[in-house]
Chains A and B, each alone.
Chain A
Amino acid sequence: MKSPSTHFKEHLVRQLPVAIAFIDAQFQLVDASDQWFELYKAEKDTANPSIFECFRTHEGCSPELLREFLVGSDTRTLKHKELSDEGKRVFESTFSPWYDEKENIKGTLIHSLDITREYLKDKELKKVNALMEATAEVAKVGSWEYNLTTEKLSWCKTTKEIHQVPLDYEPTVAEAIEFYKQGYSRNRISMLFHKVLQDGSSFNERLQIVTKRGEERWIASGGKPIVKNGKITKIFGTFQDIHEQVITEKRTKESEQLLTTLIDNLPINVFIKDKDSRKILVNKAECEYLGTTPKELIGKTDFELYDKDIAQISRDEDLEVMRSLTPMLGKQTLGVKKDGTLTHFLTSKIPLLDVDGKAYALIGMSMDITNLKQKEEQLHNLINVTAIQNKKLINFAHIVSHNLRSHSANFSMLLDFLVNEKDANEQQRIIKMLTSAADNLMDTLENLNEVVEISTNINLDKKSLNLLEHVERVEQNLSAFIEKNTVSIALDIDPKLKVKSVPAYLESIILNLMTNAVKYREPERESKIELKAVKENNHVVFSVTDNGLGIDMQRYGNKLFGMYKTFHNHKDARGLGLYIIKNQIEAMGGNIQADSTPGKGSTFKVYFNEEA
């Protein structure tokens, strides 16, 4: 029978807010708190069960170990794990001797705690730490910590390795700062460290250090305050070796810079186009040519920049280059901008291949050769002009030599006759002929002189002259000649119309054309001459139409304006008038054309150049 006090005590044990059990010397459970039973999921009513039964499913507490703990006279702690299907629970049990009133050991007091959560947290922490260390080693990210209270700076292993100091090295703040490269890096870190201490501003900066072994290396240093109760207690920081990265970056940047500078400053248009012929890179020259910015150009096709036909040609070239993978080199192309500006280019297009050898874009280079082209054209024109001039000169030289020769030949022949002639009458006759030959030679020389004067007169003094006034003046001078031949003249010239001409030439032109029209009239019909003038573009066209004999243009067309060419049996025909006025007109930058039908009449049209 239990005494009430015993009962009370028992009750007290039951209600203890901890898991506690009383074990007697025979290792039997004497009593335990409710929490004990809860913790060990044991039946309360089992009479004096063996304590070993409680720990049976536990790891880390074999009966041998338990027995040793249970009989001890000191307090011991044991960690053990429950092995069950519901997940592992971790316990911490404290074994203390159970004394009776007389201080005799009566048994053992076991106090158990479920420490599963702490255990797991601890395990997690260890894992995280290990991971961090591994990460730090791989990424070369180290850490450091500065304790404001103790003024102690500590570096992690990686940080020490980056500094190339032994692992037992313990830096001071001053020493740590000394490691930074003198100048910017050191000044900067001093400032940043001061600031984080002062007002807690975090930092992360790329700086250079000089390691223990004297190597200069790029590092990224970061710092962050740890605040407790509104006060900065610690500075925690990272320390990373970014040397290779910075160097690579620098090199990439440098080569990029080099390439950009090169491409931008090439005096040719450079562009890269993607498969759809959209521009994905343009250089300065290309932008300048198109009068816009790279931003505007990127993504645009030729169709948005050039004339449609030109764009289509370019697109076809692009497709061909990317299809055949064959570069197009130094092709002469034409660029016509939307506003119609025309540029000649020497263009090359080179396919850009991906790793599979397929073209994914093309590089284009265009050199503006408009100036060259223009020069070439000018040269061509010059050569043409020169060739024509040369032909004219040769022609003229032949005419001269022929005409002079024919006279001198006559002299030679006649003189030869004279020397051998004995008959006085015949001698007189030959001398008469010699005189006539001399006169002819004089005439010829005068004619030639007239022609040479036109050809040598390069700086012509052209004036704006009233055409009608000049025509009327010539008509006045010819009035006797015109009246004698009964020719009627019709004028259809604007009294205000002016032509640019050398005054003497204009007179010569009008005189020759009018004289010819009268001279070669058809005597069988009433002769009419019509003089007209109209303005056409940059020319004033002055035309003289007659209803005279006309000329067979098919036969004589190419000789009409030749020297010493006459086409009618006319006693006054010298074969010089048309030759001279043609030279005069051409010397003034104009030209003359003839249209004629034999038996009907002729029209001569003079084009006065009003521009030059």
Chain B
Amino acid sequence: MKKLKCLYIIDDDPITVFGIKKMLNATIECENIRTFENGKLALESIHEAQQNGEILPEVIFLDINMPIMDGWEFLAEFLKIRFPEKVIINVITSSIDPADYQKWNEFRLNCYHYLNFKNKPLFKIEPTDLSRINLAS
């Protein structure tokens, strides 16, 4: 089973968080899965970890619709942060608005990290949602 050191779930819906965690349990081993109710809390955590030299997330599951700071706002701020490694960000949304997909694509094209787009409902976590090296090898 694949191992991950640190993974963030940013979503205000406890059911989705439960689901993602459940699916992850069946796929990987990760001792440090952290959940945040909105982008702002996650961003604060990243800044804190950076300052204290703590471990940074390798994979992020990111919801779009959240109070205070939504997924897009989080992404805009997140991309300003310098990361030593590429992070896999899975944008998860129940929206089927093409505008959301377009927005995601714009971010993807101008982004240092790997960006995936996943529509709810989720039934399974794909290997590419967790690792790019796997795909290459």
Contact = CB atoms under 8 A, between A and B. Distances in A.
Interface of A: 398, 401-402, 405-406, 408-414, 416-417, 433, 436-437, 564-569, 573, 575
Interface residues of B, number: 20
A402 B94 contact: yes
B95 A398 contact: yes
Most central of A401, A410, A411, A436 by chain B CB within 10 Å = A410
B65 A402 contact: yes
B97 A398 contact: yes
A567 B67 contact: yes
Interface of B: 13, 15-16, 18-19, 22, 37-38, 65, 67-68, 93-97, 120-123
A575 B37 CA distance: 15
B16 A410 contact: yes
Contacts of A575: 67
Contacts of B122: 409, 413
Contacts of B22: 417
B68 A410 contact: no
Contacts of B67: 564-567, 569, 573, 575
A405 B96 CA distance: 9
B121 A409 contact: yes
B120 A405 contact: yes
A436 B96 CA distance: 24
A409 B95 contact: no
Contact of A568 (B13, B68, B121): B68
B63 to A, nearest CB: 9
B68 A409 contact: no
B135 to A, nearest CB: 25
B68 A569 contact: yes
Contacts of B93: 402
B120 A409 contact: yes
B96 A413 contact: no
Contacts, number: 65
Nearest to A408: B121
A166 to B, nearest CB: 106
A567 B19 contact: no
Query: Interface on chain B toward A: helix, strand, loop, or mixed SS?
Result: loop
A413 B94 CA distance: 12
23 contacts: A401-B95, A401-B96, A402-B65, A405-B95, A405-B96, A405-B120, A406-B16, A406-B65, A409-B16, A409-B120, A409-B121, A409-B122, A410-B19, A411-B121, A412-B121, A413-B16, A413-B120, A437-B15, A565-B67, A566-B67, A568-B68, A569-B67, A575-B67
Contact of A413 (B19, B38, B97): B19
B94 A433 contact: no
Nearest to A401: B96
A567 B66 CA distance: 10
Nearest to A417: B22
A413 B16 CA distance: 9
B23 to A, nearest CB: 9
A506 B10 CA distance: 38
Nearest to A559: B70
A425 B120 CA distance: 25
* List of 10 A-B pairs having minimum Cβ-Cβ separation, nearest first: A409-B120, A566-B67, A406-B94, A409-B121, A412-B121, A405-B94, A413-B121, A410-B15, A413-B19, A409-B94
Contacts of B38: 569
A402 B93 CA distance: 9
A413 B68 contact: no
A414 B15 contact: yes
B18 A433 contact: yes
B43 to A, nearest CB: 14
